[in-house]
Homo-oligomer: A and B are copies of this chain.
Amino acid sequence: MKSILRLDIDDARILIAGANAAADEIGVPMCIAIMDEGANLLAFERMEGGKVSSSTIAIDKAFTAAAAKRATHEYGAASQPGAPAYGINSAIGGRLMIVAGGVPVVHEGEVIGAIGISSGTPAQDRAVAEAAIAHWLAR
């Protein structure tokens, strides 16, 4: 057996509040997904105006960040045509997201969950994810 740390529902609510605030600030309503360390869904909100298609995308960005223990945008360069991980985006039934907006939540060097954001541009999605984590770190 081993012992691991994991986000709980209170953490998830803080992350969602942080994402809401950051999304409001830039005026882009978002879909927000929180996964725990086992890549299982903890919480989800589609803000008023968030895209329906982005529900699954936010969930899969958070899934990827939690399960692969890396931000989805880090797959970008590695999966371009000609690069080693080219084609990885259709893996796991298409759940492996390489578009920015999925970011792991890290505590003392360990990934304990992740947040996934979708509805804006990939840069906006990533910025909101990172702002949510900053909000959580400052809790």
Tell me the A residues contacting B by CB distance below 8 Å: 1-9, 11-12, 36-48, 51-57, 60, 63-64, 66-69, 75-76, 79-82, 84-94, 96-100, 107, 112, 121-123
Interface of A is mostly: mixed
Which of B3, B47, B97, B123 is within 8 Å of A91, CB to CB? B97
Query: Which residues of B lie under 8 Å from residue A121 when comparing CB positions?
Result: 84-85
**Are A47 and B9 in contact (CB-based, < 8 A)?**
yes
**Are B91 and A87 in contact (CB-based, < 8 A)?**
no
Tell me the complex Cα distance, A2–B8, Å: 6
Query: Which residues of B lie under 8 Å from residue A5 when comparing CB positions?
Result: 1-3
**Are B76 and A51 in contact (CB-based, < 8 A)?**
no
Contacts A85-B121, A89-B90 known; 12 new A-B pairs at CB < 8 A: A1-B6, A1-B112, A38-B38, A38-B39, A38-B40, A42-B46, A43-B46, A57-B91, A84-B100, A88-B99, A91-B94, A91-B99
CB distance from A2 to the nearest CB of B (A): 5
CB distance from A5 to the nearest CB of B (A): 5
CB distance from A7 to the nearest CB of B (A): 6
**Are B84 and A82 in contact (CB-based, < 8 A)?**
no
Query: Which residues of B lie under 8 Å from residue A68 when comparing CB positions?
Result: 51-54
**Are B56 and A39 in contact (CB-based, < 8 A)?**
no
Contact (A91, B6) CB under 8 Å given A1-B11, A38-B38, A46-B40: no
